[in-house]
Amino acid sequence: MPILAYREALNQAMSEEMRKDPSIFLMGEEVGFYDGAFKVSKGMLKEFGPMRVVDTPITEAGFTGVGVGAAMVGLRPIIEMMTFNFAILGLDQIINNATKLHSMSGGQLKVPMVFRGPNGSAKRLASQHSQSLESLYCHIPGLKAIAPSTPKDAKGLLKSAIRDNNPVICFEAQALYGTKGEVPDGEYTIPIGKADIKREGKDVTLIAWSKMLLLCLQTADFLAKEGIDAEVVDPRTLRPLDMETILESVKKTHRVVIVEEAWPYGGVSAQISDRIYYGGLDDLDAPIERVCGEDCPIPYAKNLEEAALPSSEKIIAAVKKVLYLK
Amino acid sequence: MANRVVMPKLTDTMEEGVLLQWYKKEGDTVESGDALAEVETDKAVMDLEAFASGTLKKILVEPGYIVPSGDLIALIARDDEDIEALLAKEKMPRTRQVGEEGKAAAPAEEAPAKTTSPSPQQTKTQSDTTPEPEAKPKAASPPSAPIAHTDGEIKASPLAKKIAAERQIDLSQIQGSGPAGRIIQRDLEGLSAGAIASTGAAPLNEAERVELTMLRKAIASRMIQSKAPVPHFYVTSEIDMGKILPLREALQKDGDTPRPSMSDLFIKATALTLRKFPAFRSSYAGDHLNVSNAIDIGLAIGMPEGVITAVIRNCDQKTLSQISAEVKDKAARARVKKLKPEEYTGAVFSISNLGMFDVESFSAIITPPEAAVLAIGSILEKPVVSNGEIVIGKIMKVTLSTDHRVADGLQAAEFLKALKSTMENPLSLAL
Amino acid sequence: MPKTKKDKQGHRDQADLHRSLLRTALLIRRFEEKTAEMYALAKIAGFCHLYIGEEAVAVGAIGAAREDDYVITTYRDHGHALARGVEPKRIMAELFGKATGVSKGKGGSMHLFDVSRHFMGGHGIVGGHIALATGMGFAIKYEKRDQVVLCFFGEGAVPTGAFHESLNLAALWRLPVVYICENNRFGMGTPVERSSALYDIAHVARAYDMPFHHLDGMDILESYKHMSQIIKGVRSAKRPIFVEAQTYRYMGHSMSDPAHGHYRTKEEIDAQKSRDPIQQLKQHLLEEKQIDEKAIRLMEEEIDGIVQDAVKFADESPDPPLSSLMDDVYVD
């Protein structure tokens, strides 16, 4: 299998779909002439031209709404957010329009579109550029949300998102764009709403997505040296959640640590916890531990930023707690 | 002159003991040999007997505390003796409470602190690194037993609750090892249907902590299970083995028949006796008794790390040789831990035989939900009167421990009498 | 006025067209008067914003548009929906929250949709739908179609970010959108003088190099005539335009607000009513002999019948089944 960078996998997903379906276009800041702020859309302007790879001014509310409006009348926009911090400016369009129109029109309108871009911290960017905002979106019925952690998942899931007839948010991460991995040759998709067990284990279930998934895999190796066999589950889709796979794992390990870069209050990990308590209470031998970002804006200073984010040390401590180890 | 009562060192490995309950209270008169208190050692729950007669003048350790062997726990003296001077010179016992959280293990209403006794010196024994929580005032609610929950206050992980429900384990009798005494999966490891067991012992000071084998944990809590809630009484009888020994020898010579052990003979005899005494094959269930028609007898098999009870089913329907073969097989497998759960659980009556260890007699602890257990001692040569002459007889002492909620002394005596009769006229056993 | 054969709306001649405009305006007026009555009877609930007084804008503009041009508007949307030809009974049923409503009872007064008629909705967030209209314009350009988008909003939306971002994009990308500002002089209770730095709202288009036009929003024929020109221009030039229609609402901001009180006087409303668009048009048609009193009476009776039928239909329609609660949250 070819080895691709995460950003290349995303590029392939979009390009392949755009070749097949002329109603798909990519719109956002710097997606065209600049080749993408993070080079995800590299070369796409050249291939598809400026009507399908559309540079916008810095106008998130405007182009997000333009995307929704275009979707209402039959196009399939991909709206690139330079980061999800900026997408907040377009949040009205996503929450009040994209997620409401199908229901509010009694099913007459559809909004088949993708909002995608990097989410979360990316080293020393300080408070306004480091936020993990997935819970904001996952709260909203009408939206689907994916958060792939590997190039293979990124391509397969983004293709599914583009083909989906609902608005789908795709959370990427700056730290992931350069990561490499095997990507199958040829056509494939990964279904939305299907989790993946990234590492099998029997002692504890670690649940994480996007770049926290990589941290968990690394941490699982550390744990293995201490004789703790961690299973790492990647939900991949944050809404709808694949609770079946998660609960199967819980049934096996009886202990859960959920790792989320975002803040703890009302986080996606809280939602997953809730669903585990609901569906797997009798399988739990310990309360679920959540390792989240600390409940503060992400600071700039190196030591403070590191302290604010989940780490292997924090995960290991949480694992030992659910295993009742000192 | 005052006599010191200390936490005994009852085994080579015993470093400390848990004071489970006092049978006597301050001011009570005691005779040498009286059971003063119940103590949990690393091996079992035992009675602490008085070595002196007098008045129990002072109790220094409350139930629920762990005391190093050799430390003073009480004083027996003459009623009018002044012990204050003596006490002032004594080193107070080094105690610590069972369970990380006293509260979880001790409902306050059950065991309020005795205000008359001086506070035990609550040191942290060997190590200062012990994780024992210090915030809890220990004297506030010392537990009456190391494991005691009130209904509805059991803290157990949902998984532990599920396991308990599946295996019919009574969580109220288990001391959890999780935070705040939460019962967690590992507290139930190795326990199975009908067993009401757990780690039992409180988490000890880490510096001197010796992990118990699961079997040992199970035994420990099972025994506490029995002794704490089941009111035992004991009836002992002497059996003349003069006739059964020759029978045994005869059977041994009988070709392919395996030589029946003393235990085998007792299993068969007890089975026949149990047929006539339903109370001894029943279990106490609050407002009724569950009487078992299957006469499944448990035989305690001793092993280095503890005892396990091999169950022989329907003993009344099996021949002595069948029983003998089965016991041999199960005992062998028990020693290599190959018994299946159904082979060591579910007996209606148990037999414990320490005869091979030169034990004149002993009392066994009932395994709930059984109602009784028969303890078999060694055969001793004693002068007996036979046909008006004094001869050397072969005498065995057996002790029946009975759940007083199920049966009374009279029934126990009749049961033993019937058993004695069978053993002394053993032909029926050979059938 | 020159006679035509049937125009694109099927009018035989100008008189026919004018009667048709009058009829639409009357339908809106009577429908909304009945709506107010039904609201008072608690048949209708929630926020309900009436268009009475402003009919000339929607009647003229939508009357001038092609059937496949998109219409999108705010929560004050009954008039636009009726002008677009959405069935009155299905609008009333929607206001009643019934299963037979245009939005299956999920939208209510503020969210009427009839996609089959390219009526793209009543929208509840001030300014938000202006970006949607811009996106529709983008789609028309993307697919090289020749439709236009009529985007209605109040002057209260002009200060929003979505408005400005949209106008910039539409002008930058030359999108076929007619931005129609219905300046009824009050954003809820705040007069335009206290909300806009611009004295002349239409001048906002200058910031984006966009053509603009002032329109008498109380004159149906004026509105029709100018909007016809404007739409034609946008269709051929393929670039947006800004229209400020000066109009007036007689009622309160919504049914929950008084028509007059501390922010305006009854005298002011009465003065505006003297320019009532429907009275003006009737008068004009009578003077031009394009209609007579009897025809007006018949028209009124017909419209009363339609409105009565709409109420009856709505009243008799079933509530949405509870099983529909989770319908249409996601597209399967």
Residue B289: which CATH number?
3.30.559.10
B204 and B268 in a single domain? The answer is: no
For A57-80, what is each residue's pLDDT tens digit? 999 999 999 999 999 999 999 999
CB B424 within 8 A of CB B243: yes
Q: Is residue C101 part of a domain?
A: yes
Question: What is the Rg, in whole angstroms, of the alpha carbon atoms belonging to chain C?
Answer: 19
Per CATH, A3-182 and A196-322 having the same topology is answered yes
d(CA B13, CA C259): 94
Q: Give this complex's ipTM.
A: 0.94
Q: Cβ of A69 and C138 within 8 Å?
A: yes
For the four alpha carbons of C233, C236, C242 and C248, in that order, the dihedral sign comes to: positive
Upper half-sphere CA count for residue C271 (Cβ side, 13 Å): 6
Total number of domains constituting chain C:
1
Q: Is residue B125 part of a domain?
A: no
d(CA C7, CA C17): 9
Strand order in the sheet with A256-260: A196-199, A230-234, A204-207, A256-260, A289-292
Domain assignments of chain A as residue spans, ordered by start: 3-182, 196-322
> What predicted TM-score, i.e. pTM, was given to this entire model?
0.67
Q: Report the neighbours of C using a cutoff of 3 or more CB pairs below 8 angstroms.
A: A
Q: What is the pLDDT of residue C238?
A: 95
Q: Would you call A165 an interface residue with chain C, using a CB distance cutoff of 8 Å? A: yes
Q: Would you call A158 an interface residue with chain C, using a CB distance cutoff of 8 Å? A: no
Q: Which of A67, A68, A102 sits opposite C328 (nearest CB)?
A: A102
Q: What is the pLDDT of residue A91?
A: 97
d(CA A18, CA A46): 13
Q: What is the pLDDT of residue B42?
A: 65
For B266-324, what is each residue's pLDDT tens digit? 999 999 999 999 889 988 877 788 888 889 999 998 877 778 889 999 998 888 888 98
CB A318 within 8 A of CB A291: yes
Q: What is the CATH number of domain A3-182?
A: 3.40.50.970
Give the mean model confidence (pLDDT) for residues A284-292.
Answer: 97
Q: Is residue C322 part of a domain?
A: no
Q: Which residues of C touch A97 (CB under 8 A)?
A: 123, 125, 128-129, 131-132
Q: Would you call B173 an interface residue with chain A, using a CB distance cutoff of 8 Å? A: no
Q: Is residue C1 part of a domain?
A: no
Q: Is residue C321 part of a domain?
A: no
Q: Is residue B117 part of a domain?
A: no
Q: Would you call A63 an interface residue with chain C, using a CB distance cutoff of 8 Å? A: yes
Write down which residue in B189, B212, B229 finishes a domain: B229
d(CA C81, CA C101): 13
Q: Which of C103, C137, C329 sits opposite A105 (nearest CB)?
A: C103
- Residue B299's H or E segment, with its range, is strand B297-303
Query: Kindly report the CA angle at A225 between A224 and A230, in degrees rounded to 5?
Result: 15
Write down which residue in B96, B119, B153 finishes a domain: B96
Query: Does C have 3 or more CB contacts under 8 Å with B?
Result: no
B322 and B339 in a single domain? The answer is: yes
B203 and B256 in a single domain? The answer is: no
Q: Cβ of A324 and B186 within 8 Å?
A: yes
Q: Would you call A285 an interface residue with chain B, using a CB distance cutoff of 8 Å? A: yes
Q: Cβ of A283 and B159 within 8 Å?
A: yes
Q: Cβ of A65 and C134 within 8 Å?
A: yes
Q: Is residue C63 part of a domain?
A: yes
Active-site annotation holder among A8, A129, A172, A248: A129
For A159-187, what is each residue's pLDDT tens digit? 999 999 999 999 999 999 999 999 999 99
CB B47 within 8 A of CB B10: no
Q: Which of A74, A92, A166 sits opposite C330 (nearest CB)?
A: A166
Q: Is residue B138 part of a domain?
A: no
Tokens 């999966």 belong to residue: B185
Which residue stretches of chain B have pLDDT < 70?
A: 1, 10-14, 42-45, 99-152, 192-226, 228, 252-258, 431
Largest CA distance in chain A: 61
DSSP code of residue A119: -
B219 and B240 in a single domain? The answer is: no
DSSP SS3 for B17: strand
B86 and B178 in a single domain? The answer is: no
Q: Cβ of A62 and C123 within 8 Å?
A: no
Q: Would you call A192 an interface residue with chain C, using a CB distance cutoff of 8 Å? A: no
Total number of domains constituting chain B:
3
Q: What is the CATH number of domain A196-322?
A: 3.40.50.920
Test the C interface: residue of A56, A104, A163, A239 with most C CBs within 10 Å: A104
Helix axes C128-142, A60-72, angle to 10 degrees: 60
B53 and B157 in a single domain? The answer is: no
Size of interface A-B (CB pairs under 8 A): 29
Q: What is the pLDDT of residue B426?
A: 83
d(CA C273, CA C285): 19
Here the CATH number for the domain that contains residue B46 is 2.40.50.100
Q: Would you call A295 an interface residue with chain B, using a CB distance cutoff of 8 Å? A: no
Q: Report the neighbours of A using a cutoff of 3 or more CB pairs below 8 angstroms.
A: B, C
Q: Would you call B155 an interface residue with chain A, using a CB distance cutoff of 8 Å? A: no
DSSP code of residue C176: -
Q: Which residues of A touch B160 (CB under 8 A)?
A: 285
Q: Which of C114, C124, C131 sits opposite A65 (nearest CB)?
A: C131
Q: Is residue B168 part of a domain?
A: yes
Q: Cβ of B158 and A283 within 8 Å?
A: yes
Q: Is residue C208 part of a domain?
A: yes
A60 an active-site residue? yes
Average pLDDT, chain A: 97
Nearest to A298 by CA among A119, A123, A91, A83: A123
Which residue stretches of chain C have pLDDT < 50?
A: 1, 3
Test the A interface: residue of C84, C238, C330 with most A CBs within 10 Å: C330
d(CA C6, CA B427): 125
Q: Is residue B140 part of a domain?
A: no
Upper half-sphere CA count for residue C190 (Cβ side, 13 Å): 11
Q: What is the pLDDT of residue B355?
A: 86
B23 and B150 in a single domain? The answer is: no
Q: Which residues of A touch B186 (CB under 8 A)?
A: 324
Test the B interface: residue of A289, A324, A325, A326 with most B CBs within 10 Å: A324
Alpha helices (runs of H) in chain C, residue ranges in sequence order:
14-40, 55-64, 78-83, 88-95, 128-142, 161-173, 220-237, 266-273, 277-287, 293-316
DSSP code of residue A58: S
Q: Cβ of C168 and A57 within 8 Å?
A: yes
d(CA B62, CA B117): 9
For A13-37, what is each residue's pLDDT tens digit? 999 999 999 999 999 999 999 999 9
CA distance B161 to chain A (A): 7
Q: Which of A56, A65, A141 sits opposite C329 (nearest CB)?
A: A141
Q: Cβ of C128 and A112 within 8 Å?
A: no
d(CA C1, CA C16): 12
d(CA B25, CA B30): 10
CB A321 within 8 A of CB A289: yes
B47 and B160 in a single domain? The answer is: no
Q: Which of C115, C124, C136 sits opposite A105 (nearest CB)?
A: C115
Contact residues, A window 32-61, toward C, CB-based 8 Å cutoff: 51, 56-57, 59, 61
Range of the domain at C269: 14-315
Range of the domain at B279: 233-430
d(CA B396, CA A207): 65
B195 and B238 in a single domain? The answer is: no
Q: Is residue C253 part of a domain?
A: yes
Q: Cβ of A66 and C166 within 8 Å?
A: yes
Q: Cβ of C142 and A96 within 8 Å?
A: no
Write down which residue in B229, B254, B280 finishes a domain: B229
B82 and B182 in a single domain? The answer is: no
Q: Cβ of B159 and A326 within 8 Å?
A: no
Q: Report the neighbours of B using a cutoff of 3 or more CB pairs below 8 angstroms.
A: A
Q: Which residues of C touch A107 (CB under 8 A)?
A: 104, 327-328
Q: Is residue C297 part of a domain?
A: yes
Q: Which residues of C touch A25 (CB under 8 A)?
A: 142
Q: Would you call A167 an interface residue with chain C, using a CB distance cutoff of 8 Å? A: no
SS3 content of chain A, % helix, strand, coil (to 5): 40, 20, 40
B310 and B198 in a single domain? The answer is: no
Q: Is residue B368 part of a domain?
A: yes
Q: Cβ of A104 and C106 within 8 Å?
A: yes
